[in-house]
Amino acid sequence: MPTMHGSKDDGTPITDAMVDAMADQAEAGYDVNEILQRRQPGRPPMGSAAAPVESVRLDPDLKRDLLLRAAAEHTTVSEVIRAAVRRYLRAS
């Protein structure tokens, strides 16, 4: 029975044959320029400049409500917070 070495992101088991093939490829060397061209940039920018991260403490009930709202809207907690801050600032 072949040895398994974990699994790929898609769930495919990593076998001895796959490890051998990857080792052969690594020993042959990689084209650094090709790797750099395939790299994905970091997070997409928000607005015209880098977006700083702000920290806020939430009591457990507020955090729960925030998580539930994000799940109900099929969005992220961060987007719910940004939308709430925008509404608050427009109202004042």
Query: How many angstroms separate the CA atoms of 53 and 40, rounded?
Result: 21
Q: Which is more confident, 36 or 13?
A: 13
Q: What is the pLDDT of residues 52-86, one digit of tens each?
A: 889 999 999 999 999 999 999 999 999 999 999 99
Q: What is the pLDDT of residues 6-31, one digit of tens each?
A: 888 898 899 999 999 989 988 888 88
75 Cβ neighbours under 8 A, 6+ residues apart: none
For the chain, give every domain's residue range.
Answer: 1-40, 56-92
The reported pLDDT for the residue numbered 51 is: 80
**The pTM is what?**
0.51
